[in-house]
């Protein structure tokens, strides 16, 4: 979804007309605002002002939250595939190798817990 599409969708969610949003932004006519709904790029200053008027975040309008969700899903899929691969490989490991792997996994988890606290 483009920047302009997110702007338009948010305006419609709020039930505002283009003219209402243009007035809230301080424009005399809706034509300047209409250009924003057709834009792919806007200055950060305009995005911040729009976000305020449209009661949302600049990150939403820019699509950054969407990108974060996609990246998170991709990371999870990669991790899931890795776990399956490791599980398959573990069946070929000796008991000593499995113990060392478990010990290393516990170490990594404890490191992560320390970072989070």
Q: Could you tell me how far CA 50 lies from the centroid of its own chain?
A: 19
User: Which residues make Cβ contacts (< 8 Å) with residue 9, sequence separation at least 6?
Assistant: 1
Domain termination site, one of 18, 47, 62? 62
Domain termination site, one of 41, 62, 83? 62
Mean pLDDT of the chain: 85
Which tens digits make up the pLDDT trace of 70-96? 666 777 777 777 777 777 777 888 888
The parent domain of residue 104 ranges over 65-116
117/110 Cα distance (integer angstroms)? 11
Q: Does the pTM of the predicted model rise above 0.95?
A: no
Domains identified in the chain, total number: 2
Residue 95 region, left (φ>0) first, then alpha (ψ -120 to 50), else beta? alpha
pLDDT tens string, the chain, 117 residues long: the values are 889 999 999 999 999 999 999 999 999 889 989 988 988 888 889 999 999 999 998 888 888 876 666 666 777 777 777 777 777 777 888 888 888 888 888 888 888 788 777
């Amino acid at each position: 979804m483009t920047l302009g599409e997110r702007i338009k969708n948010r305006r419609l969610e709020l039930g505002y007309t283009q003219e209402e949003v243009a007035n809230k932004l301080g424009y005399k006519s809706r034509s300047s605002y209409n250009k924003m709904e057709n834009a792919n790029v806007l200055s950060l200053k305009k995005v911040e002002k729009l976000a305020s008027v449209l009661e949302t975040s600049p990150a939403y309008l820019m699509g950054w939250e969407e990108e974060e969700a996609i990246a998170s899903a991709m990371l999870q899929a990669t991790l899931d595939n890795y776990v399956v691969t490791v599980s398959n490989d573990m069946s070929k490991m000796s008991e000593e190798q499995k113990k060392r792997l478990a010990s290393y996994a516990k170490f990594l988890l404890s490191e992560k817990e320390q970072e989070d606290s």
